[in-house]
Amino acid sequence: MKLEIPELCLVALVGPSGSGKSTFAARYFKPTEVVSSDACRSMVADDPNDQAATPEAFALLNFIASSRLRVGRLTVIDATSVQPQARKSLVELAREHDCLPVAIVLNMPESLCLARNQGRDDRNFGSHVVRQQTQQLRRSIRGLRREGFRYVYVLDTPEDVAAASIQRVPSWTNRQHETGPFDIIGDVHGCFDELVLLLERLGYQVTQPPAERGAEDGFSVFHPQGRRAVFVGDLVDRGPGVANVLKLVMSMVTDGTALCVAGNHESKLVRKLKGRNVQVSHGLAESLEQLELETPQFQQQATQFMDGLISHYVLDGGNLVVAHAGMKEEYQGRASARVRDFCLYGETTGETDEWGLPVRADWAAGYRGKATVVYGHTPVAEPAWLNRTINVDTGCVFGGSLTALRYPENELVSVPAAQVYYEAVRPLVGGPEEEPRVAGTNDRPSNLLHVDDVMGKRVVSTRLRGNVTVREEQAAAALEVMSRFALDPRWLVYLPPTISPCETSKLPGLLEHPAEVFGYYRTNGVSSVVCEEKHMGSRAVVVVGRSADVTQRRFGIASESAGTCYTRTGRRFFEDPALEAQFLERVRAACGESGLWEDLETDWALLDCELMPWSMKAQELVLEQYAPVGVSAYAGLSAAQTPLQGASARGVDTGETLASVDQRLHLAQLYREAYARYCWPVTSIDDVKIAPFHLLASEGRVHSDKDHLWHLAMAERLSQADTGLFRATGHRVVNLASHEEEEDAVLWWEELTSAGGEGMVVKPVDFVAAGRRGLVQPAMKCRGGEYLRIIYGPEYTLPANLQRLRGRGLSTKRSLALREFALGLEGLQRFVDREPLYRVHECAFGVLALESEPVDPRL
């Protein structure tokens, strides 16, 4: 006997002790698929027959089975299950996980069971036990279907068992092997003319049946490129062409040029046609009237067709799900009454709105699945993406339009309704969610991020560097910073990576020197690098839109200044909104002046910059750390000079101490000069300077495919457009095969740093460069000696100090730099690809989380 079971189900092997359940399970199922009560007894009580352990053993059994079903694994329960109560809990377990319960009954002769048990010395219970179990089983067999088992197979003899074979069949909803391309069409509701127009616009050739032939011959529809239509249900009711719509769709489904899922209107119509008592409302009357005019044969075919519609389809390798009213991730591919209800009606909160219609729970807002879900059911004015879900019911029958989503292109095609066929109870809104959204953007309600999107250990999959792990404690730290200090996450599409310094130089008096940077890149197979002057400011990311409409549409934030500027930890850069607005206005003007909008075919841009003065953002650091150290050093050391001089004058030998204090006083002075160089007060926009060095992204593109010379050229164009605000970034390309070019670059660095410059940042000419061992550092800094005095303290250059500081380790910093680089670009790519906010946010959040890693902050 061939036993067909669904590929995902809960199989209960039912039979008394000794009926051969474990042997059967071992023969037909993987060992890991089988959960045995005896094994669970052993696990909790060291003895498979310890009846006292039964409650704990079944708790464990349930836990294992539950976990398996949750992740979608077929599970076989090897327990006697001869009592109704035991089976009831298995049926409930299956329902809880929305999969079908299957019973395979081993109804062996009692004598055989007894004989088997006697042959085993671990089963010393009396024969009455087996007898009782057998009797319980026999009483149960007839009622198994009523108990809820959807498949019941009874094997009565050892021969039946020997002849049995198990065949796993895909569930009805599983059409993963069908890869499209598809055109998914919203609620038609009898709008036949619009449907034909839409199909034609989508490239289908629709042939109507000749008038003299019976309608039963149906329509002929085909697409030259082999595209197929998928209907989201609600073909019927309300509209004028219900019968023709059914004929057309039935023909297409029969011919294999369309799939159709069930809608709630089909469900209700079928019940009415089958003679059930159904309230005739919501346009059911129109269907009934129109079908009345058709032949009984067609009525029967139509009923059969609608009755056989599946709740939802999982298509294209699991990447596409079509259901009438939507589909939660945990229900996809599952089968149960509540899954079907969800497909037909969606999820409601139990409340009704001011028009008396049910208030829908916002399942799409919480949707985090990887499959695109296309659905209909609730008419919306414009289809809008929300977390990879889209509602394509644009209310044709209410005078809206009939819409199709082309998959995988994700393009919307619609035809307007020729007229209002049916009055809507409530006006069409933007979507079932609270806030209106705009078509084709990832312009989402602000409140859709869930704490589960960021908390706990997370693995973010990046294009550049595979999986990047964010540890739980890093996420916890970032949650605080993100919540307390960061901007609205819709702005934070990118956070810049940290930059590692070069290897520590061994040259006297220096910690960092360009030779080390060049050496690193040469060793890693990079042939030419660009050296960029490092402006001494603070890292800033600038998002600027051409107008407030643009940022509203693209970022979902109503901001009069049409952009934002934030620090590398996502904080607002400008405390004064007026100053920020002036700043953004100037940047916007420069983008316009330089022709950036036109050249990049964009109306927004994201710039990675250095913003000056340093003291603007670092004021607190200067006032609370650098300056107090400077003044204390100066005052303390000055005060020490006098008594030392006094002692010397008295003829006391003070050794090296006075000379040392004199020297340290000099270093303290250098230290104060070092930080003061980068401080100036900001009283107006004229005091602010910006030096962009990456034009990271604009509409539709992340510019990591351009080399740094392109980025610098774009920055140069901006700075020419507004020389007051922008600072160009001095740079030079160095061919690492040329000793002279390297020497020149070292000289340039020495000039820069001796004039008080911070130093330089060196990057491979290509934005993303891979060497023999994978991604190389995207940038490396090489800081000047006086700048490092601010970082390492006034006296770091004393030989003994320098010697010890050379022991700094760079590996953590470098690894972080690469991971953050990969996360940063990943987030941007996702944003540019209009992926859901939570997918973009997890990248920026990840960068912030990685930054909580304890690393020597002086690097």
Partner 1 sequence: MGACRTIDNMLLTISTTYRPATDLGYLLHKNPGRFQSFPLPFGRAHVFYSVADADRCTAALLLDIDPVGLVRPKAGASNSAGWLQQYVNDRPYVASSHLSVAIASVFNSALAGNCRERPELAQQPIPLEAQLPTLPSREGPELIGWLFEPLGYAVEIQEHPLDAGFPEWGVSPCFGVGLKGVVRLRDLLAHLYVLLPVLDDAKHYWVGDDEVDKLLRFGAGWLSDHPQQELISTRYLKRQRSLVLQALDRLSDDGQVAPNVAAERGQHDEERLETPLRLGEQRIQAVLAALREVGATRVLDLGCGEGNLLRELLREPAFRAITGVDVSHRALETAHSRLRLDNLPAAQRERITLLQASLTYQDQRLAGFDAAVAMEVIEHIDPDRLEAFEAAVFGAAQPGAVVITTPNSEYNALFENLPPGEFRHRDHRFEWTREQFQDWAQAVAGRRAYDVSFHGIGSEHPEYGAPTQMGVFTR
Q: Which is nearer to partner 1, 4 or 480 (CB)?
A: 480
Q: Does 625 bind partner 1 (CB under 8 A)?
A: yes
154 sits in which H/E element: strand 151-155
Q: Does 548 bind partner 1 (CB under 8 A)?
A: no
Q: What phi and psi values does residue 653 have, to the nearest 5 degrees?
A: -80, 105
- Restricting to residues 61-90, name those near partner 1 by CB under 8 A: none
Q: Which is nearer to partner 1, 200 or 624 (CB)?
A: 624
Q: Which is nearer to partner 1, 779 or 837 (CB)?
A: 837
How many residues line the site for partner 1 (CB under 8 A)?
A: 73
Minimum distance from residue 489 beta carbon to partner 1 (Å): 8
Stretch that binds partner 1, among 109-117, 441-449, 498-506, 507-515 (CB under 8 A): 441-449
Q: Please state, as a whole number, how many other Cβ atoms lie within 10 Å of the Cβ of residue 279.
A: 8
Among 3, 166, 644, 770, binds partner 1 (CB under 8 A): 644
Q: Does 653 bind partner 1 (CB under 8 A)?
A: yes
Among 47, 217, 599, 624, binds partner 1 (CB under 8 A): 624
Long-range contact pairs involving 794-802 (C-beta distance under 8 Å, separation at least 24): 794/629, 794/630, 794/633, 794/664, 794/667, 794/668, 794/670, 794/671, 795/664, 795/667, 796/511, 797/509, 797/667, 798/663, 798/667, 802/509, 802/511
Q: What phi and psi values does residue 27 have, to the nearest 5 degrees?
A: -80, -35
Stretch that binds partner 1, among 67-75, 280-288, 444-452, 714-722 (CB under 8 A): 444-452
DSSP-H helix ranges across 141-241: 144-147, 158-163, 192-201
Q: Does 578 bind partner 1 (CB under 8 A)?
A: no
Q: Does 121 bind partner 1 (CB under 8 A)?
A: no
Q: Which is nearer to partner 1, 129 or 665 (CB)?
A: 665
Q: Which is nearer to partner 1, 132 or 625 (CB)?
A: 625
Q: Does 445 bind partner 1 (CB under 8 A)?
A: yes
Quote the CA–CA distance of 846 and 814 in Å, as a whole number: 16
CB 65 within 8 A of CB 92: no
Among 623, 659, 709, 737, binds partner 1 (CB under 8 A): 623
Minimum distance from residue 134 beta carbon to partner 1 (Å): 46
- Restricting to residues 196-225, name those near partner 1 by CB under 8 A: none
Q: Does 39 bind partner 1 (CB under 8 A)?
A: no
Minimum distance from residue 353 beta carbon to partner 1 (Å): 11
Q: Which is nearer to partner 1, 138 or 858 (CB)?
A: 858
Q: Does 672 bind partner 1 (CB under 8 A)?
A: yes
Q: Does 454 bind partner 1 (CB under 8 A)?
A: yes
Q: Does 560 bind partner 1 (CB under 8 A)?
A: no
Q: Which is nearer to partner 1, 469 or 645 (CB)?
A: 645
Q: Which is nearer to partner 1, 68 or 458 (CB)?
A: 458
Q: Which is nearer to partner 1, 417 or 449 (CB)?
A: 449
CB 69 within 8 A of CB 57: no
Minimum distance from residue 476 beta carbon to partner 1 (Å): 5
Quote the CA–CA distance of 727 and 719 in Å, as a whole number: 6
Closest CA to 458 of 847, 852, 828, 842: 842
- Restricting to residues 767-806, name those near partner 1 by CB under 8 A: 790-793, 795-796, 801, 804-805
Among 214, 317, 628, 774, binds partner 1 (CB under 8 A): 628
Q: Does 566 bind partner 1 (CB under 8 A)?
A: no
DSSP-H helix ranges across 486-595: 514-523, 548-555, 577-593
Q: Which is nearer to partner 1, 618 or 702 (CB)?
A: 618
Q: Does 659 bind partner 1 (CB under 8 A)?
A: no
**Torsion sign across C-alpha atoms 43, 45, 47, 48:** negative
- Restricting to residues 473-492, name those near partner 1 by CB under 8 A: 476-477, 479-480, 482-484, 487-488
- Restricting to residues 395-434, name those near partner 1 by CB under 8 A: 434
Lay out the sheet containing 182-185: strands in order across.
258-260, 228-231, 182-185, 401-407, 411-416
Q: Which is nearer to partner 1, 420 or 631 (CB)?
A: 631
- Restricting to residues 483-542, name those near partner 1 by CB under 8 A: 483-484, 487-488
Give the three-state DSSP class for 402.
Answer: strand
Closest CA to 288 of 273, 276, 302, 301: 273
Letters for 682-721 (x = contact with partner 1 by CB under 8 A, - = none) are ----------------------------------------
Give the three-state DSSP class for 507.
Answer: coil
Minimum distance from residue 636 beta carbon to partner 1 (Å): 4
Q: Does 723 bind partner 1 (CB under 8 A)?
A: no
Minimum distance from residue 244 beta carbon to partner 1 (Å): 44
Quote the CA–CA distance of 478 and 495 in Å, as a whole number: 13
Q: Which is nearer to partner 1, 237 or 851 (CB)?
A: 851
Cα 47–Cα 49–Cα 52 angle in degrees, nearest 5? 90
Q: Copy the structure tokens of residue 156.
A: 């009565």
Q: Does 626 bind partner 1 (CB under 8 A)?
A: yes
Q: Environment class of residue 533 by beta-carbon count within 10 Å: exposed (0-12), middle (13-18) or buried (19+)?
A: buried
Q: Which is nearer to partner 1, 495 or 633 (CB)?
A: 633
- Restricting to residues 817-856, name those near partner 1 by CB under 8 A: 854-856
Q: Give the strand pairing for 100-106 and 9-14.
A: parallel
Q: Which is nearer to partner 1, 139 or 506 (CB)?
A: 506
Give the three-state DSSP class for 689.
Answer: strand
- Angle, in degrees to the nearest 10, between helices 192-201 and 242-255: 40
Among 18, 545, 630, 764, binds partner 1 (CB under 8 A): 630
Q: Does 276 bind partner 1 (CB under 8 A)?
A: no
Minimum distance from residue 500 beta carbon to partner 1 (Å): 15
Q: Does 348 bind partner 1 (CB under 8 A)?
A: no
Say what the alpha-carbon torsion angle 151, 155, 160, 166 is, to the nearest 10 degrees: 30
Q: Which is nearer to partner 1, 509 or 681 (CB)?
A: 681
Q: Does 645 bind partner 1 (CB under 8 A)?
A: yes
Minimum distance from residue 492 beta carbon to partner 1 (Å): 12
Quote the CA–CA distance of 369 and 683 in Å, as a whole number: 50
> Which 8-state DSSP code applies to residue 310?
B
Minimum distance from residue 473 beta carbon to partner 1 (Å): 8
CB 694 within 8 A of CB 711: yes
Q: What phi and psi values does residue 681 have, to the nearest 5 degrees?
A: -75, 145
Cα 375 from chain centroid? 20
Q: Does 650 bind partner 1 (CB under 8 A)?
A: yes
**Torsion sign across C-alpha atoms 258, 264, 266, 267:** positive
Q: Does 637 bind partner 1 (CB under 8 A)?
A: yes
Q: Does 676 bind partner 1 (CB under 8 A)?
A: yes
Q: Please state, as a whole number, how many other Cβ atoms lie within 10 Å of the Cβ of residue 27.
A: 13
Among 23, 254, 657, 754, binds partner 1 (CB under 8 A): 657
CB 847 within 8 A of CB 495: yes
Minimum distance from residue 540 beta carbon to partner 1 (Å): 18
Among 55, 508, 509, 681, binds partner 1 (CB under 8 A): 681
Minimum distance from residue 793 beta carbon to partner 1 (Å): 5
- Restricting to residues 356-385, name those near partner 1 by CB under 8 A: none
Q: Please state, as a whole number, how many other Cβ atoms lie within 10 Å of the Cβ of residue 73.
A: 14
CB 232 within 8 A of CB 263: yes
